[in-house]
Each structure stands twice: as structure tokens, then as C-alpha cells.
Amino acid sequence: MAGGSRLRYNGRMQIVLLSPYHGGSHRAWAEGWAARSRHRIEILSLPDQFWKWRLHGGAVRLADLYMEMFAGEAGGDRRAAEASASHAVDLIVATDMLDLTTFLALTRTRTAGVPVLLYAHENQWTYPLPTDPGTGPMRRQKGERDRHYAWVNVSSMLAADRISFNSSFHRNEFLAALPAFLNHYPDEKDPAWIDRIAARSSVLPLGIDFARLGAAQPGPAATDSGDDRLVPLVLWNHRWEYDKDPETFFRAVDALAERGVPFRLAVCGACTRTHTPEFDAAKSRHEGRILHWGEADSQTYAALLRAADVVVSTAIHEFFGLSVCEAVYCGAAPVLPRRLSYPELIPEHLHEDVLYDDFGQLVDRLHARVSTKLDPRVRAELRSAMARHDWSRRASEYDDQVEVWFPRPASPRR
């Protein structure tokens, strides 16, 4: 039975989703869609570690796993063959962490004729490099970007039938940066490659499982008590990495403290670093204001989101903004830069209330949000804007879109 056969599983599409770096937002996205889709989605994944190796070799391992789904056919065992038939694939979905060209080459006997959708959570060309060449993802190149990983993204997009970016900002920035990328190579490069990627690409924003955060209405944090609940809580729920620019956040918090404004602080983003000097120094400076410090378990994280009055971002990189969406949905007033993906998350008529252009505006917006509660109607509108990303809505949009892009034949082929 050819890999492109169109057998149906109870009238639904059968989708194989390839997730080479299966953790964090990548895992939440894959499992969120699979759990709520009307189609049958089978996830083939690898652990979320050694990201460079995943881009180098993840395709080989996932190709093995993919081919194992059909292993029973060659042996002639009827039961195994029937089980294998249930895996006839209508669509392959892969994330940007996969070398799609290698995967398709290794599985060509089973993937010829099967359409492919590539989902771009991020890319390795416009992801910002740190100012300190000894830190960050390219530290072994001493701050120089290794274009091999960006080329994996580009060649994978050329191999895919469709490409979906998680935000308009991400799509536009990547396409705009591709001419400079190709200019690094000496010859046999075609600007039409960019046009081919653009023509195949669109935007499918992330789906988010807001239900796991509990009630949307604000509520007390698990570690909150007494009169402290009356003091506004400022939240940082981003990764402890250079691309989220924690130093600027702490400068803004310092400036707020110098103005004598009462507030509390919760810093609860994920951290994989062994040394966090900027966080340690800030913790020492604001020790009396801290409600929570450090990565939080899921229950504590949800409670902190519901307790927060303000969520702040100072990021220099954000292709979507999952952590901000979660906090705003739970009732926190956002203070966000007027760049990256943030303007498209916030209704345009609220930009002046929410977005800032420079450090002075950041401090002023933060001061205003800590001193005066956001109008409940505005808060409700912001929550509603975030709710459009809930999987209860997004899953059917994804399902509808893949059916439009990859229509079923009039009748099953055997």
C-alpha cells in the first residue's frame, strides 16, 4: 500500500505530526491540537534537548519511527498488515526543528505523494544573537551565526507544500531577511526561492490550553495572604534568557521602586541556566517585595497568573508571545513593547494603553498600571482578545484549513 494512499480513519484525515524537539510550547502546541482535532493526529517525537543535534540528526531517527509504522506489511502477517493499513497517511505536519529534506529522502517509499505542512514556531536566521559571544545558542561559534541551521529551515520550507508561521510578524520578518541570507552564498542561488516560500506560506497563530490555568477571573496566588493581596503584583513569566532582556525589566522595576510606588514581584519563568547573576542581583535588591522567585510548578504558575495585576515584557525576541497571552487571559494588565509580535496580540485601539516605545515609556506605563487598576471593561476586552487563541476555537480552524489546503479525493483510493 503506497504511502500516498487515501484510506480514511472513520472519515477523518490521518495526520502524522513530527516534533523533533518535543517540549515547552512545541509540545503544548502538538498535543493541544492532537487532543482536540476532529482528525486523527499521531505524534512522532524526540526529547527537547540538544537542539542542534535535533536539527542535524532528528530527521533520521524520526524517519525510522515513521517507517516502523508500516513494518508489518512486508512480513505478510495479516494482523500486522491490517494494523499498518490504519496508518495510511493523508498529511504530514512537521515543525521547523526538522530537516524535512532528509526525512523525506529516507522515507520516500512511504511519503511520495503525501503532502507536507511545515509549522514555523521559530527560525534560526532572525533569532537574535547575544551581545556577549560567550553566551546563548551560538557561543561555540563565538557569536557568529552558524548559517547551516538557517539553511535547514530554508530547504525544509522549499520541500514543504505549505508553511504556516505562528504570527504575521514572524512571517514578514523571515521573508524580509531571506535576501541577506542568500547573499552569503557565492553562486547558484535563485531569488525565486524566496517567492516560492512566500507563496506557500500563511499564518496560523498558536492554540493555547487556557483551561489548565483554571478560572479566567483573577484570584489569589497560593503563597499570597492577608493585606499583601492589596499591594499590586508585577509579574515576569518569561524564560530566563538574554532574548527576553531581563536586565531592562529589572532596571524598570528599580526605577519604579525609586519612585516610592508599592508593589510586589513574581518572577516565575523557566530557567535552564546554572548562573543567573542579573537575577541574583535583582532578587537581593527587591527581597522585601518578592512573592515568588524561580520556575514554578503548574499549580503555582496558574495561581500567580491569576493573582498578577501587571505582566511586563522587555523582550528583544518574540515570535508569538505565549506567556503574555496566558497572563492577560488570567487578568493581568499587559505592559509590552511596540514591536515584535505584540501589536498583533492587542486590539489596535488599546495600543496606546498597553504598548511602549522606549525605556521612559516602559517605566511610565508600569507606574500607571501599578498605581491605577485597569478599567474592568478594558481588562475584559483584553481577555477576550486572548481567548481567540484557545484550542476550543483554534483546533477547528486548523482542521478546516488543512482540509482546504489538502482536499480529500472524491472517494477513497485502495
How far the first Cα of the chain sits from its last, in Å, is: 8
Specify the higher pLDDT residue, 116 or 225. 116
Average per-residue pLDDT in the chain? 88
Residues of the chain with CATH 3.40.50.2000: 210-389
Rounded distance between C-alpha atoms, residue 255 and residue 306, angstroms: 25
Please report where in the chains the cell 512480513 appears, as a residue: 75
Residue 170 backbone dihedrals phi, psi, to 5 degrees: -60, -50
The pLDDT of residue 134 = 59
Contacts of 108 (CB under 8 A, 6+ apart): none
Residue 411 confidence (pLDDT) above 80: no
Rounded distance between C-alpha atoms, residue 177 and residue 194, angstroms: 10
CB 409 within 8 A of CB 115: no
- For 254-289, the pLDDT digits (tens) are 999 999 999 999 999 988 888 899 999 999 999 999
Q: What is the mean pLDDT of residues 180-187?
A: 91
Rounded distance between C-alpha atoms, residue 214 and residue 338, angstroms: 29
The pLDDT of residue 248 = 98
Q: In the Cβ-directed half-sphere of 376, how many Cα atoms lie within 13 Å?
A: 2
- The domain defined by 210-389 carries CATH number 3.40.50.2000: yes
The pLDDT of residue 193 = 96
Q: What is the mean pLDDT of residues 246-260?
A: 97
> Residues 156-195, buried b or exposed e (16+ Cβ, 10 A)?
bbbbbebbbbbbebbbebbbeebeebeeeeeeeeeeeebe
- For 67-92, the pLDDT digits (tens) are 998 876 555 454 444 444 445 899 99
Q: What is the mean pLDDT of residues 387-396?
A: 96
Q: What is the mean pLDDT of residues 403-412?
A: 74
The pLDDT of residue 71 = 78
- The full DSSP string for 295-314 is ---HHHHHHHHHH-SEEE--
Q: What is the mean pLDDT of residues 234-258?
A: 96
Residue 356 confidence (pLDDT) above 80: yes
Which CATH code for domain 14-209+392-405? 3.40.50
pLDDT confidence of 139, banded at 50, 70, 90?
Answer: low
The pLDDT of residue 6 = 38
Residue 1 confidence (pLDDT) above 70: no
The pLDDT of residue 147 = 86
CB 46 within 8 A of CB 62: yes
Residue 402 confidence (pLDDT) above 60: yes
- For 39-61, the pLDDT digits (tens) are 999 999 999 999 999 999 999 99
For residue 350, give the C-alpha cell: 488599546
pTM score: 0.88
> Residues 97-134, buried b or exposed e (16+ Cβ, 10 A)?
bbbbebbbebbeebbeebbbbbbbbbbbbbbebbeeee
Q: What is the mean pLDDT of residues 101-115?
A: 96
